Amino acid sequence: MRHWLTLSRAARLIGVSRGVLQQQIQDGQLPSSDGMVASEELARLYPQVSLEESGAFERITGIKEAAFGRRVWERILPSQEVLARRLFEQSRELADLRRHLQRYHELVVALQGRLDAVAAASQNPDLRELPAFLERGLADVLATESADAIAIMDDMLNVVSAHVTVRPSGHQFFVEGRDTLLEAGLRAGLKLNYGCGNGTCGLCKARVVSGEVTKVMPSDYPLSEAERLQGHTLLCVHSPASGEIVLETLEAGGPLEIPEQQIDVRVRGVKRLGADTLHLHLQTPRTSRLRFLAGQSVVLRVAGGGADAGQSYPVASCPCDDRNLHFYMGRDSGDPVAALLFDEAIKPGDALTLSGPVGDFVLAESARPLVFVACDHGFAPIKSLIEHAMALDTAASFALGWLATRPDGHYLANQCRAWAAAFDHFHYTAHTDADPAEGARRLVRAMLAERPLAGSDVYVAGPTAFVDAATAELRAGGIPPGQLFAAAR
């Protein structure tokens, strides 16, 4: 019997992105049926996969996690209770399979007896040959049927990493370690509805269509009896108890579906990355997370500073980063918040007021290769988009070009090199030019010379002169208007 896998599971087991498998399906290298691939076809295309090397996908994920700088505890195994529940579910499935096998065995034995009786009473040579034919067939199956390594790896993955499918979107993600369904869904780049993240507001309510979940955190939000009977649960306080889960919930379709929020946040850290660049780390309260899309901006104000003392900044972190929000700011005397930060008038522990999100510079739903072009602090929204795209795992390749017009313009060059080292299909190009317009033209021409970009979605962010010159050069290079997205500051 063929063992069928979704693209998400297949990519996870082999250690490649879904985008790579989708490209192989389009090229005719990997047969598929209704979005599923057979384990034997995967083994044919990736013969190096074996049980001994089944940690390949874990090693790749580990490199990705290190590139994101995530905490170590997020990679540990699920709790003992969750593991026990998942093992129980697998044991129950195994018991069902054993019962079915026993019935098939009894059926085959009965069939053998009937065939022997028919053959003994018949003069037809074809009928007399049937018992021997059945014996040879059974012997061949028992002697030559080898274990399907990928199918076994899939069963192992079901225990330590639950697979979740969301309806009606069809999006899929995995729940690892001690993550809740909400944490894992956001980490995978889904635009789920949520608010507090701790079981108080009820905004992340969803219906469990199939599979089992277990509560891993306390909650105050009361579900009605009707909701309980219909299978509703809170994603923020539950984790899968079985290896396969199907959820029913709506996801945001775009920026217009993200409500405006106002949150009082605390400064967790301020770090100088250069003479004119600093990193600001903010944290939201436990009772209120910021819901935003990668690439969007927020307005920051000093508490009590008045409505005119605010400034818009792109969020540089991924929406999956829980309560932590990161920003990269340049020295600017006309920027009230940045001026206070550079003068050290704002310090860790101080309060700021955040409102937003704003902006529509977000990732389009597409499986095309992705190209990012940034200048100086235009890298902030680009970083958020890249991390979000990596979480979605649908792009077959990434290309990043970063122009610096100031000495500390490449303030996260090590991060870019880490991405390029961690991903086989990530290309990083760095350029320096004091003129943003001329630098944009040189950078884009260099990227076009390295590889064709016409079939890619391209995102450009930076000063207006840079964005205008870069987009003109990209259009001249064959990028269709519908695949070119820009944000100027």
**pTM, whole model, 2 decimals?**
0.73
3-state secondary structure of 193: coil
Is residue 187 within 8 Å of 218, Cβ to Cβ? no
Which pLDDT belongs to residue 30?
86
- Residues whose CB falls within 8 Å of the CB of residue 480, separated by 6 or more in sequence, listed in order: 454
Which pLDDT belongs to residue 246?
95
Burial label for 429, CB within 10 Å (0-12, 13-18, 19+), is: middle
Is residue 392 within 8 Å of 479, Cβ to Cβ? no
Q: Which residues pair with 213 in a beta bridge?
A: 240
Which pLDDT belongs to residue 69?
45
| CA separation for the pair 99, 467 (Å, rounded) | 65
Per-residue pLDDT of the chain (489 residues; tens, 9 = 90+): 567 777 777 877 777 777 778 778 877 888 887 667 887 788 888 876 654 343 444 444 444 444 444 443 444 556 666 766 666 776 777 777 778 878 887 888 888 888 888 888 888 888 888 888 888 777 776 665 555 666 666 666 666 678 899 999 888 888 877 789 998 898 888 889 888 888 888 899 999 999 989 898 888 899 999 999 999 999 999 998 888 899 999 888 889 989 899 999 999 999 999 889 999 999 999 888 899 999 999 999 986 655 456 789 999 998 887 789 999 999 887 888 998 999 999 999 999 999 999 999 999 988 889 999 999 999 999 999 999 998 888 888 899 999 999 999 999 999 999 898 878 789 999 999 999 999 999 999 999 998 888 889 999 999 999 999 999 999 999 999 999 999 998
Is residue 67 within 8 Å of 422, Cβ to Cβ? yes
- Residues whose CB falls within 8 Å of the CB of residue 246, separated by 6 or more in sequence, listed in order: 164, 165, 166, 167, 208, 209, 210, 211
| CA separation for the pair 460, 126 (Å, rounded) | 73
| CA separation for the pair 422, 60 (Å, rounded) | 8
Q: Residue 93: which of 216, 243, 205, 278 has the closest Cα? A: 243
Quote the tokens at residue 283.
Answer: 């944290």
- Whether omega for the bond prior to residue 357 falls within 30 degrees of 0, making it cis, is yes
Which pLDDT belongs to residue 68?
45
Domains defined for the chain, CATH in brackets: 4-65 (no CATH), 71-251 (3.10.20.30), 258-358 (2.40.30.10), 370-488 (3.40.50.80)
First to last CA, the chain: 57
Is residue 214 within 8 Å of 193, Cβ to Cβ? no
| CA separation for the pair 215, 161 (Å, rounded) | 17
Which pLDDT belongs to residue 72?
39
| CA separation for the pair 21, 36 (Å, rounded) | 11
Is residue 50 within 8 Å of 18, Cβ to Cβ? no
Quote the tokens at residue 344.
Answer: 């050290």
Which pLDDT belongs to residue 249?
93
| CA separation for the pair 471, 464 (Å, rounded) | 11
Q: How many residues does the chain have?
A: 489
| Relative orientation angle of helices 18-26 and 7-14, to the nearest 10 degrees | 110
Q: Residue 35: which of 18, 49, 47 has the closest Cα? A: 18
Which pLDDT belongs to residue 41?
82
Which pLDDT belongs to residue 1?
55
Is residue 379 within 8 Å of 314, Cβ to Cβ? no
| CA separation for the pair 319, 340 (Å, rounded) | 26
